[in-house]
Amino acid sequence: MAELVLSSLLPLLFEKLSDAALKTIARHKGLDAEIKKWQRSLKQIQRVLADASRKEITDEAVKGWLNDLQHLAYDIDDVLDGWVTEAMQSDQSTHDSEGITGKVRKLITPTCCTNFPRDATMLAKLDDISTKLQDLVKEKADLGLRVEEETRPRNNNSNNNRRFQSSVVNPSRIVGRQAEKDALVQQLLLPADEPCDQNYSIVPIIGIGGVGKTTLAGLLYNDVQVNNHFELKAWICISDDFDISVRSKEIFIAFGGEVKREHENFNKLQEAIRDHLTQKRFLLVLDDVWSESREDWETLVRPFYTCSPGSKIVVTTRKNILLKKLGYNSLYKHLESLSDDDALSLFALHALGVRNFDSHLSLKPHGEGIVKKCKKLPLALIALGTSLRTRKDEDSWKGVLESEIWTSPVEGEVIPALRLSYHDLLAPLKRLFAYCSLFPKDFLFDKEELVLLWMAEGFLQQATPNDSIEEQCLGRKFFEELLSRSFFQHAPNNESLFVMHDLMNDLATSVATEFYFRLDNESRKNIKNMKLDKYRHMSFVCEKYVAYEKLQVLENTKCLRTFLATFAGEVERLEKFYLSNKILTDLLPKLPLLRVLSLSGFEISELPESIGTLRHLRYLNLSQTHITHLPEKVCNLVNLQALILFGCYKLTELPNNFLNLKNLQHLDVRDTRLLFKILSGIGELKSLHINLSKIIIRSEDGFEIAKLNDFKNLSGKISVVGLEKVQNATYAHEANFSQKKLSELELVWSDGLYDSRNEMLEKELLNELKPCQDELIQLKIRLYGGKEFPNWVGDPSFLHLKYVSIKGCKRCTSMPPLGQLPSLKELLIEGLHGVEVVGFELFGTSQAFPSLEIMRFEDMHGWKKWSGAVFPRLQKLEIKDCPNLVEVTLEALPSLNDLKLYHCDSGVLRSLAEVASAVTKLGINGISGLNDVVWGGVTEYLGAVEELRIWRCNEIRYLVKSDADATKILERKRRRRSWIIVGATS
């Protein structure tokens, strides 16, 4: 807490209190002397925060003093924000100049500051703040807080103790991890066949603190096969001190080298390491790596190039940022918690001295309950099991299971394993993580949405002014940092979303203290005993019906900044949620300090005009509601930064004075009925980032596409429909697509009138629609009428492009060089009737399709010949309705395991089977010319097939030629799974 106040809150307050514009306001209010007193008092407090940081862990009084200080910081910030808002509202009626994009307006003319009211309520609030400040100054002396040098939190004993981790493990005390160990041993024993340009490769072990990374690495290090395989071994614990010179000496010594005086010269040291490793296969374990610097890493490993092929470096880390920089993107999963059985066995081992409960059956149900509450995390199980080692009576175990430790994890022994990771975070990251306590377990996080929330709360403001783009970039960086340390994980079924492990959610709740409150079924039980007026941020989990009575307790929470509706897990598309209208009309106006308001997903059709009284509001989320319009009073929200209207499918208009929202930075109107003509009128908001799902060109000449130039910060996903109407490519040039940082782009012409369309114009038009390559992930082109594609389609500079779909481009006679796209994972080509040959033009000049995993061709009636090189990573291939394709000459499909052919020639099946020996799933439908002879030849290459599906191949009479072949299939059935025959008629 002290670190957070010191590095996050006070610097921002000092900046605001010192701001020239705010001083002008204070002077006209006659309060400049009061402001100066506040500054002096806060500076006195700031000097003792380093001492408070050391004492708060064990001294509850100091912890309470720090909480009071943070509450007071909120109060001061609210007052200052109110003054600035008054100035903006006054200024709005007399000025049409550029909007206020900073935290306060940097130039406020005196005429707008002379009529501020000095009512009794305001004066009482100021007196209250001054009194509390003086009390805190006095109390710091009573607590014995002294001025001392601030210590760096990362250099604490817990991290220094990591330096004493070693490769020595006691196998008899380790439970589980056999499967993980076996898989990693095989990796270590494999030759150097990874796609790299050095003789060694990296084997990462990634996971949260306390999950057992070091233990697993120790098992590998001491494995007999591993010992016999490597000539040299070394184990180095890195921790957060990545001093290259020191670590290089340690590596040299661990490998058996002798450090001499000449090795004080770093160049000589690296030469010695190089010479020592020449023609030797080594294993190096770098335990607990925190560094993110690729430059430091490359300096450290520079001498290793002389080693023998097959050398390995095992890296254990909580963060994967460095690994990503080195090219290890998503090849390795994070180390998970133990299985149910192994977790229970590990707990029994440390609690009872044996690996099971056979001799203590009465304790087993309690043990199972404790293991479940520990989330199967090894370090937590060991710590709690050890504490029960001397107590084998049922009452003691039951007491632990029912202890308040589980509802107050900060004081228990379950959380320390994760608190190691939490305490290592910088103060701003701790604050962002604590904010996530507002979200329920199993919540699906959208990174961009979470960053917008952090921005609205003011968490991303720095001591030096930032614009919205810089704040958003900082927020993304912070999120990636938390992700790399396993505070977040990728959602299992959606790589664009993220989840937080239940144990991490518990940790966030434990550190959120009295500032964050999540109203759910559990917290509702104790709500009468809680001091809700203390909380600043509140969320509630949506239920089918949210009645006023559920939230009535918030009527007196005058200081509340956040009112957030959340959902646990995925929400069914047709599921409906209803919110009492009384909450909108009666409760919200009683929360005047709200900065974040989310009512997403409710069956709301109208907002009251009173929404305009929430003058501090920065973030308003009405997504997927039934609103048809916004009240005009919304335009009074001069602080509003983000307005989320995604999925408001009944919304047809914006307020008349929408341009008054000059601080608006993010507008999401995807999947609404707002016409592009309406939206083009708000292009004057120069700082606005707008998310559109579709632009339909309606004019006869398509001139309105040029209006996209007004949206300087257009981002996200967009579909442009009706491009056949654009009569001049200059209009598309004026739209300035090359500056639009889109993640998904769909370009759609109409289907028809091909004879009357100008193919040269359409090529020029498509050329001008080239998007910025920095962030594009998905590209779709529909019904384009040119004969060939412009050069940007397939340009390797699109480094992040993963998905390409080209459909219905009937005039095209050749393919773009999509093989040059380095990250392309999925490719769909459909309806290119003019293409007869697919070959070198698709592959380009470099190694073709290095990342492609899925490829589909469909409705290619003119296609006759397919020739090409190796598809190294292709896993799934589907060819459908390509009746004239008869010649296929591919070199190899080494990774292909799923092959589907529909309405094609039997020669295609035979040719593909010959180069795809790893196929495990084969589906064929309506294959012409597929008789017993051809099928017999195909089956020669089907040794790996486990699942076979056949439809409408009526010329096949026998699946196998002989009893010997039948025996082979039966053997395959025993080894794998049986073939599945569907729709075979013979």
Convert 195-237 into a string of H (helix), E (strand) and C (coil): CCCCCEEEEEEECCCCCCHHHHHHHHHCCHHHHHHCCEEEEEE
pLDDT of residue 572: 57
Determine, yes or no, domain membership for 286: yes
Length of the chain: 986
Domain that holds residue 24: 2-92+119-143
Q: Tell me if 914 sits within 8 A of 943, measured CB to CB.
A: no
Per the listing, tokens 């210590």 go with: 151
pLDDT of residue 637: 93
- Which CA distances in Å does 522 have to 338, 404, 439, 759? 27, 14, 14, 65
Please identify, among 812, 838, 863, the residue that sits at the C-terminal boundary of a domain: 863
Question: Within 10 A of 345 (CB to CB), how many other CB atoms are there?
Answer: 19
The angle at the Cα of 78, spanning 76 to 81, to the nearest 5 degrees, equals: 110
Give me the DSSP letters along 630-653: --GGGGG-TT--EEE-TT-TT---
pLDDT in tens, 840-873: 889 877 678 999 999 999 999 999 999 887 888 9
Do 583 and 678 belong to one domain?
Answer: yes
- Beta-bridged to residue 206, according to DSSP, are 317
pLDDT of residue 483: 84
Do 678 and 538 belong to one domain?
Answer: yes
Tokens of 363: 């304790």
pLDDT at 454 over 80: yes
Determine, yes or no, domain membership for 52: yes
Do 528 and 493 belong to one domain?
Answer: no
Determine, yes or no, domain membership for 954: no
Average pLDDT, the chain: 82
The angle at the Cα of 950, spanning 944 to 953, to the nearest 5 degrees, equals: 125
Q: Where are the beta strands (DSSP E) in 471-612?
A: 489-491, 494-499, 516-519, 537-541, 545-546, 562-566, 578-579, 596-598
Which of 665-669, 797-801, 813-817, 839-843 has the least mean pLDDT?
839-843
Do 361 and 433 belong to one domain?
Answer: no
Higher pLDDT, 443 or 3: 443
Rounded CA-CA distance 954/942 in Å is 20
Q: Which of 578, 521, 576, 580 is nearest to 548 (CA)?
A: 580
Which of 24-28, 142-146, 168-172, 363-367 has the least mean pLDDT?
168-172
Determine, yes or no, domain membership for 904: no
Do 420 and 431 belong to one domain?
Answer: no
Q: What is the mean pLDDT of residues 215-228?
A: 87
Do 751 and 627 belong to one domain?
Answer: no
Per the listing, tokens 């995390």 go with: 377
**What number of helices (H) and strands (E) belong to the chain?**
34, 31
pLDDT at 219 over 60: yes
Determine, yes or no, domain membership for 874: no
% of the chain exceeding 70 in pLDDT: 84
Do 669 and 742 belong to one domain?
Answer: no
pLDDT of residue 160: 47
Rounded CA-CA distance 517/537 in Å is 6
Q: Tell me if 209 sits within 8 A of 318, measured CB to CB.
A: yes
Strands 826-830 and 854-858 come out as parallel
Q: Is 458 left (phi over 0), alpha (psi -120 to 50) or beta?
A: left
User: Quick check: helix, strand or coil at residue 504?
Assistant: helix
Q: How confident is residue 835, by pLDDT bands cut at 50, 70 and 90?
A: very high
User: Quick check: helix, strand or coil at residue 248?
Assistant: helix
pLDDT of residue 977: 41
Q: Where are the beta strands (DSSP E) in 95-243?
A: 200-206, 232-239
Q: How confident is residue 152, by pLDDT bands cut at 50, 70 and 90?
A: very low
Highest mean pLDDT among 225-239, 412-426, 558-572, 829-843: 829-843
Highest mean pLDDT among 376-380, 575-579, 800-804: 800-804
Q: How confident is residue 700, by pLDDT bands cut at 50, 70 and 90?
A: confident
User: Quick check: helix, strand or coil at residue 411?
Assistant: helix
Q: How confident is residue 113, by pLDDT bands cut at 50, 70 and 90?
A: very low
Rounded CA-CA distance 634/895 in Å is 56
Q: Which of 380, 361, 367, 364 is nearest to 421 (CA)?
A: 380
Do 416 and 432 belong to one domain?
Answer: no
- Beta-bridged to residue 778, according to DSSP, are 744, 803
Rounded CA-CA distance 70/560 in Å is 14
Which of 453-462, 526-535, 793-802 has the least mean pLDDT?
526-535
pLDDT of residue 222: 87
Q: How confident is residue 195, by pLDDT bands cut at 50, 70 and 90?
A: very low
Contacts of 712 (CB under 8 A, 6+ apart): 686, 739
Higher pLDDT, 859 or 549: 859
Rounded CA-CA distance 57/148 in Å is 17
Determine, yes or no, domain membership for 367: yes
User: What's the CATH number where 440 sits?
Assistant: 1.10.10.10
- Radius of gyration over alpha carbons of the chain, in Å? 33
Please identify, among 647, 668, 689, the residue that sits at the C-terminal boundary of a domain: 689
Rounded CA-CA distance 266/419 in Å is 37
Per the listing, tokens 């257009």 go with: 714
Q: Tell me if 315 sits within 8 A of 205, measured CB to CB.
A: yes
pLDDT of residue 963: 57
- Which CA distances in Å does 783 have to 749, 830, 933? 5, 10, 41
pLDDT of residue 557: 81
Determine, yes or no, domain membership for 106: no
Rounded CA-CA distance 327/947 in Å is 34
Do 230 and 244 belong to one domain?
Answer: yes
Q: Terminus-to-terminus CA distance in the chain, angstroms? A: 76
HEC readout, 687-727: CCEEECCEEECCCCCCHHHHHHHHCCCCEEEEEEECHHHCC
pLDDT in tens, 739-757: 888 899 999 998 876 667 8
Q: What is the mean pLDDT of residues 398-404?
A: 77
- Which CA distances in Å does 702 have to 699, 709, 735? 5, 14, 12
pLDDT at 885 over 80: yes
Do 264 and 305 belong to one domain?
Answer: yes
Please identify, among 838, 863, 888, the residue that sits at the C-terminal boundary of a domain: 863
Question: Within 10 A of 333 (CB to CB), how many other CB atoms are there?
Answer: 12
pLDDT of residue 470: 84
Tokens of 351: 């609690």
Helix (H) or strand (E) holding 909: helix 906-915
Neighbour-count burial for 176-209, b at 16+ CB within 10 Å, e otherwise: bbeebbeebbeebeeebeeeeeebbbbbbbbbbb
Q: How confident is residue 414, by pLDDT bands cut at 50, 70 and 90?
A: very low
Q: How confident is residue 96, by pLDDT bands cut at 50, 70 and 90?
A: very low
pLDDT of residue 98: 44
Highest mean pLDDT among 137-151, 237-251, 432-446: 432-446
- Which CA distances in Å does 717 have to 747, 777, 830? 11, 10, 22
Q: Which of 492, 587, 500, 595 is nearest to 548 (CA)?
A: 587
Model's pTM, two decimal places?
0.73
Rounded CA-CA distance 479/429 in Å is 9
User: Quick check: helix, strand or coil at residue 604?
Assistant: coil
HEC readout, 933-949: HHHHHHHCCCCCCCEEE
Do 18 and 77 belong to one domain?
Answer: yes
Q: What is the mean pLDDT of residues 47-68?
A: 81
Give me the DSSP letters along 475-497: HHHHHHHHHHTTSSEEETTEEEE
Per the listing, tokens 């040959």 go with: 837
pLDDT of residue 154: 44
Do 666 and 744 belong to one domain?
Answer: no
pLDDT at 543 over 50: yes
pLDDT in tens, 369-378: 888 888 888 8
pLDDT at 982 over 60: no
pLDDT of residue 83: 84
pLDDT at 280 over 80: yes
pLDDT of residue 766: 95
Domains identified in the chain, total number: 6
Rounded CA-CA distance 488/507 in Å is 12
Q: How confident is residue 59, by pLDDT bands cut at 50, 70 and 90?
A: confident
Contacts of 237 (CB under 8 A, 6+ apart): 162, 163, 164, 165, 166, 287, 288
Determine, yes or no, domain membership for 103: no
CA 811 to chain centre: 41
pLDDT at 420 over 60: no
Angle, helix 502-512 to helix 416-423, in steps of 10 degrees: 70
- Beta-bridged to residue 880, according to DSSP, are 858, 902
Question: Within 10 A of 60 (CB to CB), how many other CB atoms are there?
Answer: 8
Higher pLDDT, 464 or 637: 637
Q: How confident is residue 939, by pLDDT bands cut at 50, 70 and 90?
A: confident
